[in-house]
Amino acid sequence: MQSTIHFFGGAGTVTGSNFLLDTGNKKILIDCGLFQGDHVAEVGNWEPFPFDPKEISVLINTHAHIDHIGRIPKLVKEGFRGKIISTEATKALALPMLMDAMALSSRTAEHLGKEPLYEQKDIDQAMRQWEGISYHQTQDMGDGVSMQFLDSGHILGSAMAEFTRQDGGQARKVVFTGDLGGGNSPLLPLAEDPQGVNYLLMESVYGDRVQSDDALARKSKLEDVIEDTAARGGTLLIPAFSTERTQDLLFDIRELMVGKRVPSMPVYLDSPLAEKITAAYLAHPQYFSKEIQARIKSGEHIFSFTELHFVESSAESEKINATHGAKIIIAGSGMSNGGRVQAHEKVVLPDANSTLLIVGYQAAGSMGRRLAEGVKSVSIRGAHRQPSETVHVACRVETLYGYSAHMDGEQLLEFANKVSEGAHDSGTLKEVFVVMGEPASAGFLAQRIRDYLSIKATTPHAGEKAEIEF
């Protein structure tokens, strides 16, 4: 049997995940995410889809990050009426994420002079088409193809999509990994190892580097940064994605404060979205690691502590910087490209007593990437059509990539090796498609897979396709 994989987004870039598996009689879309990063990337979200949404049979969604779900309402708006399938946790997280993305994209649309990407009615329609299932629950895709989700260990409910098709009595398998967690989260289980895979489409965000901060060193460095900023009476500002990164931070800061390892000070979670996501996490405890499930069952409130303040309104947000003394602010967005964090950065960046702590991947062209690389000034867009403002950077800028929710280069290579070893029962792993990474990262990982594992590995570009025996 022959099928075709089309690479529409997440090929040659990290964001905009969007792949199509055409089995001959069924067109199965895997992810439909927003392009993020610089201005050129954002404009791409308004481009027409390179396929007819009405012809898509089903959409499989790997997890709730906006670069994997952000264009789903646009897909629905343009005629897609098939089923959307994800884990239950992903479906629960998706609604607040999409609502937030709609507000942000509306402001971007106004800035670009374009129509809104989608509206509330499109999100509502998408949720009506959405079905949440459990890990390892087999779904019939039609055309002799079945699908199940495997835990990818990336964020709550994140999954690899494993497709199986019978070929002359022998099962053929294609796996789309989505994003793969590196085991850094104190909240989640480790990623599973798929077995019997013939074709693997895998992420490569950190394919060309090794993360130096493991989970233990991460908490120790966080402790040091908090203590240092507190000693100077400054503000510790942490731009953080609302999903997973914020929950990991809250968990670690809570343990440091409850354990008296850092001074007591106000901790402001200035993100209504992150508050909703945290509530959704607690509503799906079955997706946590066994240890965390046990702690919750014993009555522990894993995200609650005296110093924590949830900031609801914009007016409350504006008052935070008027409070004197040391404090911690966690605010979105995680790449500093928009959201409430930018208002805080106008105050924190010029303050030599304060610290900006970058804890996650920063896409090329994003303001967070420029800050991590050491720029001395940035331009921050004004609110309510006000002109942009140039802000000088005098604060300390620290990076702590131990909070990464991705496997690093060594882990990705070992993951591919395990998949290869597990493929021997039903034929060899024929090819690895390395995607969802910047070109240098994806190319480096593909070369290592070829060199160390002797497996064909390619780095497809957007618009390309691959014929597979499936």
Query: Which tokens go with 32?
Result: 């439909």
What is the DSSP track for 77-103?
HTT--SEEEEEHHHHHHHHHHHHHHHH
pTM above the 0.85 mark? yes
Residue-by-residue pLDDT tens, the chain, 470 positions: 899 999 999 999 999 999 999 999 999 999 999 998 777 778 899 999 999 999 999 999 999 999 999 999 999 999 999 999 999 999 999 999 999 999 888 888 888 889 999 999 999 999 999 999 999 999 999 999 999 999 999 999 999 999 999 877 788 999 999 999 999 899 999 999 999 999 999 999 999 998 765 656 889 999 999 999 999 999 999 999 899 999 999 999 999 999 999 999 999 999 999 999 999 999 999 999 999 999 999 999 999 999 999 999 999 999 999 899 999 999 988 889 888 999 999 999 999 999 999 998 888 888 999 999 999 999 997 666 678 899 999 999 999 988 889 999 999 999 999 999 887 655 589 999 999 999 999 999 999 999 999 999 999 999 999 999 99
Give the tens place of pLDDT for each residue, 399-422: 998 888 999 999 999 999 999 988
Query: Which tokens go with 431?
Result: 């090819």
Identify the pLDDT of residue 333: 86
Query: Which tokens go with 227?
Result: 């203590």
Instruction: Report the C-alpha gap between 396 and 349 in whole angstroms.
Output: 8
Query: Which tokens go with 68?
Result: 């994997």
> 């960046």: which residue's tokens?
349
Identify the pLDDT of residue 334: 87
Please name the residue ranges forming H helices in 21-131: 39-43, 66-69, 72-77, 88-112, 120-129
Residue 162: strand, helix, or coil: strand
CA dihedral 311, 316, 321, 322 (to 10 degrees): -140
CA dihedral 226, 229, 234, 240 (to 10 degrees): -50
Cis peptide before 336 (omega within 30 of 0): no
Identify the pLDDT of residue 104: 83
Side-chain-side CA neighbours of 154 within 13 Å: the count stands at: 23
Q: Which long-range contacts (C-beta less than 8 Å, at least 24 apart) are formed by 79-84?
A: 79/52, 79/53, 79/54, 80/53, 80/54, 80/56, 80/129, 81/54, 81/129, 82/56, 82/57, 82/58, 82/129, 83/58, 83/59, 83/129, 83/130, 83/131, 84/58, 84/59, 84/126, 84/129, 84/130, 84/131
- Number of other residues whose CB lies within 10 A of the CB of residue 464: 15
Single-letter residue type at 378: V
- Number of other residues whose CB lies within 10 A of the CB of residue 414: 13
CB 196 within 8 Å of CB 425 = yes
For residue 425, what is the DSSP state?
A: B
Give the tens place of pLDDT for each residue, 199-239: 999 999 999 998 765 656 889 999 999 999 999 999 999 99
Please name the residue ranges forming H helices in 283-365: 290-297, 314-320, 341-348
Count of residues in the chain: 470
